[in-house]
Amino acid sequence: MKINWILIAFLVFGSWVLKAQVADSSAMKKVDSLITLSWNYRDEGMHDESISTGIMAKNLALEKFGKKSDFYIRATNNLGRSQQEISNFKEAENLYIEALNLLPENKDQKDSLFYASILSNLGNLFRETGRYDDAEKFLLESTEISKKITGGNNLDYVRKLIRLANFYDAIGRSEKTEVMLLIAKSIIEKEMGTDNAWYAVLSINLSNAYNSLGRKKEAEKYLLIAKKIYGNSPGKNRKEYATVLGSLASLYDDFGEYDKAVQLYLECLSMRDSLFGKEHPGYAHILYSDSRFVKTVNMSTPKAGSQVVYF
């Protein structure tokens, strides 16, 4: 009886390939899950957990797929976001640049949304650190790539527009900020309507722009829109809602509507405390802001028993 060694070799090799594919598929899912978990931790303000999970994703991607794999590059970019969130700017910049340098030098990659995402992250970091020339260069390029790929009717393009708008607001060009945000607003309204988290974020940014332009009533209008969206959502008790409350309080302080301002500041402080605790930097920031808000509840016509509220 002749032994068909070719058939045996094929079966053994095929079995090995199948096992390797199953292992690779499992590793892919695990890296993806870790990146998503890191993102969610970051969104909830759990920064230590976000960074530790991001490091796990990066190490696993390196072990299973190598440095030039999409998985490793994505994990590196994600870890940069987590480091930037805690103002570890140098480490974040190094991670973004590592991810950028690992992308293949070809036109397809340079015209990808992934490439645009890394550019946008770098541009946003440069805005935060005051390197405005570099920030504008990277943010403009990322926005143009996104527009080219998506046709300008996509939430990725909206995200890039909002970042570019924030940049122009930071350098005092609020008129350009308004233009960018109104374009983003029309896309969100067309694609998703007005009762969603995207529209809430857009409304906060529009309010900031109008506040910078001295158009306080329009600023109030959009903060109230954001407050309503977050207030009606299942995740009402979250940092974005607390931010809206604090911004509204500051605006009513400017209007001289101190009763409203006091109520909102107290609600904001209570929410920050429950979300992060009194030791969190976000809580300290609110306390610092509120320390300048020392007003009587009704300064114009003081009444017997009216109290001065100190924060």
Closest CA to 241 of 217, 219, 267, 215: 267
Residue 273 binned pLDDT confidence (cut-offs 50, 70, 90): low
**Maximum CA extent, the chain:** 111
Comparison of pLDDT for 26 and 296, the residue scoring more: 26
Query: What SS3 class is residue 113?
Result: helix
| Mean pLDDT score, 41-57 | 91
Q: Are 83 and 48 in contact (CB under 8 A)?
A: no
The span from the CA of 124 to the CA of 109, in Å, is 21
The span from the CA of 28 to the CA of 201, in Å, is 32
| Among the ranges given (67-71, 179-183, 239-243), the one the predictor scored with the smallest mean pLDDT | 239-243
| Mean pLDDT score, 69-90 | 95
pLDDT tens sequence across 183-200: 999 999 999 999 999 999
Query: What SS3 class is residue 308?
Result: strand
- Residues in CB range of 49: below 8 A, 6 or more apart: 38, 41
The span from the CA of 112 to the CA of 70, in Å, is 12
